[in-house]
Copies of this chain bind each other. A is one copy, B any other.
Amino acid sequence: MELVSLYKCLCDVQRLRILNLLKEGPLCVCHIQEILGETQVKISKQLQYMKKLGIVWVRREGVWMVYSLPVPVHPVLLANLHCLQARSDEFPCFAEDLQTRSTILQRYTDNLAECPQVVYQSATGR
């Protein structure tokens, strides 16, 4: 992956928030959408943008498209994602997003009936 392309990707707060989420594990589009409180189109386009660059991977699980960081993560990307957490004063949303993510995942853990949890399990082993 070209370095400048990676930096261009990091220029958008929405994309940063998505990457910050994926750093914790795979997520399907609708959950990213819910956490960020954005429209489906916007999220989908950002994901396509990153997919084309190889910055995220995608895998289908039924109707869900599950996005994740590639293995291994590009070292420069990883380094910058670490920086994000360290600078939570500038972007409180990064920590809040992770909080919301936990809540959502917990919701599915509690209600297996309508749960796509297998999606995340099979993806991460968590």
A25–B91 alpha-carbon span in the complex (Å)? 31
Q: Which of A43-51, A73-81, A105-113 is found at the contact surface with chain B?
A: A73-81
Is A83 among interface residues, defined by CB-CB distance under 8 A?
yes
**Interface SS of chain A: helix, strand, loop or mixed?**
helix
A11 to chain B, nearest CB (A): 5
**Shortest Cβ distance from A1 into B: residue:** B90
Within 8 A of B (CB), among A74-99: 75-76, 79-80, 83-84, 86-87, 90-91
**Given A76-B80, A79-B83; A10-B7 close (CB under 8 Å):** yes
Is A12 among interface residues, defined by CB-CB distance under 8 A?
yes
**Given A4-B12, A12-B4; A83-B76 close (CB under 8 Å):** yes
**Chain A residues engaging chain B, CB cutoff 8 angstroms:** 2-4, 7-8, 10-13, 16, 75-76, 79-80, 83-84, 86-87, 90-91
